[in-house]
Structure 1
Amino acid sequence: MSLRFKGADLRPVLAEAISNRCRVVLAKDHGVYFLAERGERRPEDGRQKLLAYAVGCNPDIDPFDDWWERSCAELGGNDFGEHFSPQTKVFAHILASEDDLELSATATHLGLKPIPPLSGDR
């Protein structure tokens, strides 16, 4: 199994990380999402403004039981943050294309690969 991140959601996060000369963080806590290590904050609540949630793992739109079970099934029960350079080949590809990103995980490895967007998601 795997998680999908829509390229349209991920590209602004990657651009923010490049602009701020920082890393991109994959976070699993209250949802599963990518964010820039140093990003713009929302004035109303101080939360990071740009987040790219995995499809089905966004607590703002997906029912709690659904996103919680999916995130645990894909990435285990513990919260974590994993840092990546936004300059890596896979992120450069996402920035230069309309592709989405697929995240797969094993007990010891995270895999990232570009995949074509679902029809109607462009």
Structure 2
Amino acid sequence: MLRFKGADLRPVLAEAVANTCRVAFVKDHGVYFLSERGERTPDGRQKLLAYAVGCNPHVDAFDDWWELARRELGGDDFVEYFGVREGVFQRILGSEDDLELFATATHLSIQPVAPGPRS
């Protein structure tokens, strides 16, 4: 299970709503959500990213975030897209909830949860 802080995720979701696009769930250099279309930094990178707790390469030690990502999501990098109008994302937008993500070999499941102690 991976947790995304609602406070980090809400700006990403709001950007996707404003740009009428999907949100992408990405596992590569970290594990994060981002808007399919969004504001860029001067070096061309996406500005708003919502990293999973423990999987932020700018905060967490490489061995720690890499092992957590591998254990929860496997070894391959990937991108999955979600419609921002899905109920779970609308709930996150309108509440203080966090998001939990569970993965199996064939499915990703997401659900809102009460904010955690690290939120």
- Within a 5 Å distance, the mapping from 1:1-122 to structure 2 comes to 2-43=1-42, 45-119=43-117, 121=119
Runs of 4+ aligned structure 1 residues displaced above 3 Å come to none
Q: CA deviation at 1:119?
A: 3.6
Q: CA deviation at 1:46?
A: 1.3
For 1:118 and 1:22, locate their aligned partners in 2 and report how far apart those are by CA, in whole Å: 28
**How many residues matched?**
119
Give per-residue Cα distances to partners, 1:71-106, cap 9 Å, x unaligned.
Answer: 000000000000000000000000000000000000
Q: Which ranges of structure 2 fall in alignment gaps of 5 or more residues? A: none
Among all aligned residue pairs of Structure 1 and Structure 2, give the percentage whose two residues are the same amino acid. 69
Q: Which ranges of structure 1 fall in alignment gaps of 5 or more residues? A: none
Q: CA deviation at 1:120?
A: 6.3
TM-score, normalised with respect to structure 2: 0.98
Aligned CA-pair RMSD: 0.8
